[in-house]
Amino acid sequence: MNTAIILAAGKGSRMKAQLNKQYLILKEKPILAHTISVFEESPLIDEIILVISEFEHDLCKNKILDKYKFKKVKKIVSGGKERQHSVLKGINAVNEKTDIVLIHDGARPLLTKNVIKKCVDSAKEYGAASVGVPIKETIKIMGKDKFVKYTPKRENVWVTQTPQAFSIEVIKRAHEVAIEQEILGTDDAMLVEHMGGDVKMVEGDYENIKITTPDDLITAEAILAHKKHI
């Protein structure tokens, strides 16, 4: 059984909107509804757990769940103080029969079912997988004085996206170790890396952007408009 945990509890202050960015309209539908739809339509996903702000349960119910009638959304849980805490709450809510957990940002609505498949397949084979894309530009690593220390090879540097997928045993243990050692990671793959686990990188899609600023919303609208005319 495969469970998707969708994280939508963030405030999204960089969007400069009074409404949580997850509920802003993207091509006639809330961003979060687009995101849920991809997992809802994937034959590989059996269950969806939504992690949202404790103050937005009514908003989510009215604008998302009641309107779009998603059948795979089985539980809604309130997020924690940090992203990592929200993920753990989602993990604790998954069905006991779950084998693979996918963790995805609610503000990445342009995910494709093909990327979900690659992520699930890799997690089944390797235990941990993260979607990402190779960088296109040259990266410089600097010291505190802002002088360049070195330039990594571009083929070795990827931009991490979501979903990230794990066997339930691996991700539970990663979070247990993080709690024991008081580690706060920026993503879940980092927690697996910290406990000595290997994470397989899965090539995703440059269009799988995270909507963080007003410019990102414009870009997402352009991508959807382009896909519609292909």
Domains in the chain, CATH or no CATH each: 2-132+160-228 (3.90.550.10)
Q: How confident is the model at residue 19 (pLDDT cuts 50, 70, 90)?
A: confident
Does 77 score more than 60 pLDDT? yes
pLDDT of residue 229: 59
Q: Residue 14: its pLDDT value, please?
A: 60
Sign of CA dihedral 114, 188, 31, 223: negative
pTM metric for this prediction = 0.94
- 23 and 17 Cβ atoms separated by less than 8 Å: no
Which residues on adjacent β-strands are paired with residue 200? Answer: 129
Q: pLDDT averaged over the chain?
A: 94
pLDDT exceeds 80 at position 228: no
| 195's tokens | 């406990």
Mean pLDDT of 35-46: 98
Q: For position 17, what pLDDT does the model report?
A: 60
**pLDDT computed for residue 115 by the predictor:** 97
Q: Is the dihedral of CA 193, 196, 201, 202 positive or negative?
A: negative
Provide the pLDDT for residue 12.
59
